[in-house]
Structure 1
Amino acid sequence: MTPATDPLAPATLGPVRLRNRVIKSATFEGATPDGLVTDRLIAYHTAVGRGGVGMTTVAFLAVAPEGRIQRGQIHWRPEALPGLRRLVEAVHATGARISAQIGHAGPLANSRSTGSRSLAPSRRFNPLSLSFDRAATRADLQRIVDAHAYAAALARDVGFDAVEIHLGHTYLAGSFLCPKLNRRTDGFGGTSARRAEFPRRILAAVKQAVGDDVAITAKINMTDGVRAGLRLDESIPFARTLQADGHLDALELTGGSSLLNPMYLFRGDVPLSAMTAALPPWVRPGLRIFGRRFFRHYPYQPLYFREHALQFRRELSMPLILLGGVTDLDGMRTAMRDGFDYVAMARALLREPDLINRLRRDPTARSLCTHCNLCAASIFTGTHCPWDVDGTAALLRADAG
């Protein structure tokens, strides 16, 4: 197998040299109860660093206080920088690279938790806070564009190797792309080109802020998985536009809406009781009634986003990251033969942080992850796999705050 098709061979992502093509994708760690880096967060990422990944991604570092999903998330501010620098240095000591996922939660923010009114493209009722989101003004959008640039520059300054801009899952930038959520009639709504204007401004501002100092990637939806949501006939042209803009070193292809259809992203079992219990108390009664409609069941299969992603691969020349059902070397090699440049993993690495090292030792090894999705129910209390047997889950659950 040539280096170009070997997922465990060294590779280059923009200005960054990776020891292999495997990226730990962003998964909210639930390890920052005070909005600051903790020993638990460092343990989370150094575990996968020691386990062999090329790069790990710190999940959702909000660009503004109201852009947090809930209070216990890091947002970019001077008080957070010493801890983030300590995290970067600890991951680098394992031989891995580290990326900062930055973004604004928008309609996914819970104003009861953050203390700030949630923003959305258009005014809408928010079931998370039982109040109405405020339609973002042009001044809001410019402030948030500037906040992305500021966050990216801070990420570079504390030593991150890459920044990932969250444009998917109907967070704020992704919700502008979604026709169901974006009912604006100004220059940021209506046609697909106008709905793409806000995300494009974010990427341009980030590129201007950091230049070629760090790798810049973006996570984008191929489809929202909901009626009247973003579909392939709009997301592929959007990706072509981003390629032409030239601000990115790679695109990570995903799908689903954390707001409208979260299981489209996860696939596999739906542990409804556990998921309901993890949500705020005032949301639980409604989910007990309508939960099966919200947490829809999608059978798990390996490389479940592959067919959609192949359509992007045929249309684009830029580097692409394949996400979804990547759990073994067979899947990784299929992705490389298909022309994808990197693969992203999440649940399999929660189950086994050392999976990549194990695959190096035994190329026929299979992940122990069963796709039960109980890890998704733990995201606000310390994301972990309940079936972990090597002590990592116990460490992540410990209150190191």
Structure 2
Amino acid sequence: MLTDAFQPAMLGPVQLRNRIIKAATFEGRTPDALVTDELIEFHRGVAEGGAGLTTVAYCAVAPEGRTDRHQIWMRPEAVPGLRRLTDAVHEAGGAVSAQLGHAGPVANAASNRAPALAPSRQFSPISLRLTHAATAADIRRIIAAHAKAARLAVESGFDAVELHFGHNYLISSFLSPALNKRSDEYGGPLIRRAELARQTADAVRQEVGDEIAVLAKFNMDDGVRGGFTGDESLSVATWLARDGNLDALELTVGSSLRNPMYLFRGDVPLQEFAAQFPQPQRLGIRLAGRRFLRTYPFREAYLLDTALRFRAELNLPLVLLGGIASRAAVDTAMSHGFDFVAMARALLYDPHLVTRMSTEPSATSPCTHCNRCMPTIYRGTHCVLTSPNPSTTN
């Protein structure tokens, strides 16, 4: 019998009104690293549009763990604003998750005014500086910071936290043999490279118990030569499932550091990206950006084939991400045994798509996958086809 994605469902200890999750995409509405009215309205709109769970992205667990200094980092000062946000989402009938993580080598050290951490010392194309190899003390601090951030999420009224284990952020970078050249207990064989992910999930679960749901966004494949591969990923996912600390895995791919378009299929808005940066980065992106921003064609549910292997092997709820833009794609995911689906660009185009899909079997998003929404993260994330620039409407 086909699971009805538009009926209530349990995510760990939390009941959602449906199985549709608004995926974490940085909203560009936190200029002072704190919640704004614009951020609240963004997520209220997603909840009013019918999504079961909306995800606040991104809530760093430490100040140097932001991709730039405008992102929220979890500290007591942030709690009152976060509480206003969660209250607004709940009033609109939805649930809300905080994406927690440490950007690691993806952090912009120049913007943060703090060194970017990585498993090993390397050159960062983001800040044009060398990263610092995380010490054992750094690792202990960051694991504890995830648990502390999860506690603050509970105090802020969140229903769930999503741990960022993907896209070559810090924990994902430890999983990658291309980025992790360590010889200590966090490097070398896969079992050791997986320790940071497993210890972080355990610390968060120990902190929050069953007060809220705990998910992880997890790379199936980095899409990078010499990086984290499908075989390794399935092994780590199996260990995470056996550890019993996660209520679900949201399956993703790609490297924000080396190959971001491996996740974001469709057109590459190279000129729009370049325009967001000062010189000399702007010229560099225009001249060499195609090497970094590669083109991958879009098709609906484009991660389904890769994710099916994980569905076959794992006894753990899974969230299918990637090109979910129609009722047909949602039904396909349910028919293959996925427990939830996550949507991003389709909901930027039409925040009320979930409500339409619940009553219209033929409902689909008109999103063209131009990806011109991606460069708008620097000034208020929005669909350039349907929405005004938020920075001009405040």
Q: Shorter-normalised TM-score: what interval?
A: over 0.9
1:187-226 alignment runs, 5 A limit: 187-226=185-224
Matched, 1:394 2:375: no
Cα-to-partner distance string for 1:274-326 (whole Å, 9 max, x where unaligned): 01222454422222221111100000001100011000001001100000010
Determine which of 303, 312, 315 is the counterpart of 1:314: 312
3-state SS of paired residue (2:18): coil
What corresponds to 1:90 in structure 2? 88
What corresponds to 2:127 in structure 1? 129
TM-score normalized by the length of structure 2: 0.98
Cα distance in 1 for partners of 2:382, 2:49 equals: 16
1:357-372 alignment runs, 5 A limit: 357-372=355-370
Cα-to-partner distance string for 1:133-185 (whole Å, 9 max, x where unaligned): 00000000000000000000110111100000000000000000011111111
Determine which of 137, 140, 143 is the counterpart of 2:141: 143
Determine which of 82, 94, 98 is the counterpart of 1:100: 98
Q: Is the 8 A contact 1:184 1:190 kept in 2?
A: yes
Cα distance in 2 for partners of 1:77, 1:7 equals: 35
More moved, 272-281 vs 105-114: 272-281
Cα distance in 1 for partners of 2:278, 2:389 equals: 25
Instruction: Quote the offset at 1:9 in angstroms.
Output: 1.1
Cα distance in 2 for partners of 1:164, 1:399 equals: 30
Instruction: Quote the offset at 1:395 in angstroms.
Output: 6.8
Q: Is the 8 A contact 2:382 2:389 kept in 1?
A: no
Cα distance in 1 for partners of 2:281, 2:136 equals: 31
Determine which of 27, 30, 51 is the counterpart of 1:29: 27
Cα distance in 2 for partners of 1:366, 1:127 equals: 37
Cα distance in 2 for partners of 1:57, 1:280 equals: 30
Matched, 1:51 2:75: no
What corresponds to 1:300 in structure 2? 298
Cα-to-partner distance string for 1:111-151 (whole Å, 9 max, x where unaligned): 11111011000000112222100000000000000000000
Cα distance in 1 for partners of 2:157, 2:334 equals: 29
Cα distance in 2 for partners of 1:280, 1:313 equals: 44
Q: Is the 8 A contact 1:168 1:219 kept in 2?
A: yes
3-state SS of paired residue (2:346): helix
Cα distance in 1 for partners of 2:308, 2:277 equals: 35
Cα distance in 1 for partners of 2:133, 2:173 equals: 12
Cα distance in 1 for partners of 2:153, 2:392 equals: 27
Cα distance in 1 for partners of 2:349, 2:271 equals: 21
What corresponds to 1:260 in structure 2? 258
Cα-to-partner distance string for 1:70-89 (whole Å, 9 max, x where unaligned): 01010011111100000000
What corresponds to 2:283 in structure 1? 285
- What RMSD over aligned residues (CA atoms) do the two structures have, in Å? 1.1
What corresponds to 2:13 in structure 1? 15
3-state SS of paired residue (1:170): coil
Q: Is the 8 A contact 2:379 2:390 kept in 1?
A: no
Task: Flag the 1:152–1:278 CA change in 2: closer, same or farther, 3 A.
Answer: same
Cα-to-partner distance string for 1:216-250 (whole Å, 9 max, x where unaligned): 00000000001001111100010000000000000
Task: Figure out how many residues of one structure are paired with residues of the other and give that number.
Answer: 394
The unaligned stretches of length 5 or more in structure 2 are: none
3-state SS of paired residue (2:373): helix
Cα distance in 1 for partners of 2:255, 2:94 equals: 30
TM-score normalized by the length of structure 1: 0.97
Q: Is the 8 A contact 2:380 2:389 kept in 1?
A: no
What corresponds to 1:66 in structure 2? 64
The unaligned stretches of length 5 or more in structure 1 are: none
Q: Is the 8 A contact 1:43 1:396 kept in 2?
A: no
Cα distance in 2 for partners of 1:257, 1:395 equals: 27
What corresponds to 1:382 in structure 2? 380
Cα distance in 1 for partners of 2:287, 2:156 equals: 46
